[in-house]
């Protein structure tokens, strides 16, 4: 501590000290703002209760992680369910060349990919079946990235992006889980249980 110099501490633009008095406690808050090149930052999160606060922290963590991946990975994919709709269309198109049960499995995989846009439609209060059928037609007929808009309609997915590693990891995990479940089902079927 005796060897610390001003250069070791860095520089800040402003230092604000606040004292907040509540009915049951006194809270001192020190804000250091306008730092020219911060290497670490703190985000203060508060909420009405522990569960609400934890949910805010979880959402904030997800947002920061996605932003970090987007900046470090450099490759973004269109969101709003559009990339999932395009992949589902590609799998369906490839399934047409497959005979027998492989085609059924590929069609089921394509339907599973459509879970993301279907959930977006459901969360926005739209009619899931109508929007998914409309999205399938749009993915087939459109070169752009068509997804689900915030009001639950099918439209261009503008301003919604996902880091490529997030999409890839989600697909890999879901596919591996499905394959494991199929293997377990085959073992149980072979035993005759």
For residue 174, tell me if it sits in a domain. Answer: no
Q: Which domain holds residue 134?
A: 78-163
Same domain, 155 and 99: yes
The domain boundary, picked from 75, 100, 130, lies at 75
Three-state SS annotation for the chain:
CCCCCHHHHCCCCEEEEEEEECCCCEEEEEEEECCCCCCCCCCCCCCCCHHHHHHHHHHHHHHHHHHHHHHHHCCEEECCCHHHHHHHHHHHHHHCCCCCHHHHHHHHHHHHHCHHHHHHHHHCCCCHHHHHHHHHHHHHHCCCCEEECCCCCEEECCCCEEEHHHHHHHHHHHHHHHHHHHHHHHHHHHHCC
Same domain, 89 and 149: yes
The domain boundary, picked from 24, 51, 75, lies at 75
Same domain, 17 and 58: yes
- One pLDDT digit (tens) per residue for the chain, 193 residues: 567 677 766 777 887 878 777 666 666 677 777 888 777 777 777 666 677 778 888 888 888 887 777 777 678 888 899 999 999 999 999 999 998 888 988 899 999 999 999 999 999 998 999 999 999 998 888 777 889 988 889 988 778 888 888 888 889 998 898 888 888 877 888 876 5
For residue 98, tell me if it sits in a domain. Answer: yes
Report residue 24 CA to chain centroid gap. Answer: 39
For residue 88, tell me if it sits in a domain. Answer: yes
Same domain, 25 and 68: yes
pTM: 0.64
For residue 106, tell me if it sits in a domain. Answer: yes
């Amino acid at each position: 501590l005796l060897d610390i110099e001003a250069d070791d501490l860095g520089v800040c633009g402003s230092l604000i000290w606040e004292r907040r008095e509540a009915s049951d406690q006194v809270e001192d808050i020190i804000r250091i703002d306008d730092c020219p090149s911060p290497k670490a930052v703190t985000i203060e999160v508060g909420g009405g209760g522990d569960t609400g606060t934890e949910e805010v922290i979880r959402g904030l963590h997800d947002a920061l992680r996605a932003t970090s991946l987007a900046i470090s990975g450099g490759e973004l994919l269109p969101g709003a369910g559009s990339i999932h709709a395009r992949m589902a269309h590609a799998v369906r198109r490839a399934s047409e060349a497959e005979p027998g049960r492989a085609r059924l499995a590929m069609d089921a995989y394509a339907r599973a990919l459509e879970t993301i846009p279907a959930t977006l439609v459901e969360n926005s209060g739209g009619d899931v079946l109508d929007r998914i059928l409309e999205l399938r037609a749009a993915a087939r007929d459109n070169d752009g990235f068509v997804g689900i808009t915030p009001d639950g309609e099918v439209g261009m997915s503008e301003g919604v992006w996902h880091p490529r590693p997030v999409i890839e990891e989600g697909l890999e995990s879901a596919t591996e889980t499905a394959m494991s479940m199929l293997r377990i089902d085959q073992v149980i079927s072979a035993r005759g249980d």
